[in-house]
Amino acid sequence: MVVFALFIISKAGGLIYNREFHTGMSKLTSNDYLMLAGSFHGMHAITKQLCPAFPTPPTAANAAGLAPSPFSSRPSGIEVLESSHFRIQCFQTLTGTKFLLFTEPQQPNIDTMMRKIYELYADFVMKNPFYTVEMPIRCEKFDRGLDGFVKVRS
């Protein structure tokens, strides 16, 4: 199975990281990458708003006057975009950062892969004292960790 690329999009919709792992994708310019990230961010926000609001049954917390939990049935927006040639899997963190993984449509265990990529991101990027949140990611340890993980899977 093949992992084509990884994009990381900031909560504001900017492309802060992109990496190609396999040559199966068409060559894009840096402007194309930025437009793709911004377009996906917009589609994600719109699909999050399209989610139907189901009535919430009264609970003990509501009866006691407490605010309902914001995490009980929170809409997530678009998570998978699949075609006959590729699949885009989106994982959004609680802070709004989105991870887009481009793979073959038959790729198994994508959720496990996304968790591991997020773990590498948390360990090597977010714990880096020289990294500023929402800025482009330039971290060699993160790159090496991704290479090691993805090449074992591909």
Among the ranges given (53-62, 68-77, 137-146), the one the predictor scored with the smallest mean pLDDT = 53-62
* Class of the domain covering 3-48+75-151: alpha beta
Model pLDDT, residue 46: 86
| Residue 77 backbone class (left: φ over 0; alpha: ψ -120 to 50; beta: rest) | left
pLDDT greater than 90 at residue 128: yes
- Comparing 37-41, 70-74, 124-128, the range with the smallest average pLDDT is 70-74
Question: CA–CA separation, 18 vs 9, rounded Å?
Answer: 9
pTM over 0.85: no
State the pLDDT confidence band at 91, using cuts at 50, 70 and 90: very high
> Which residues are 20's β-sheet partners?
5
Q: Are the C-beta atoms of residues 106 and 86 closer than 8 Å to each other?
A: no
**Token pair for 37:** 């990230």
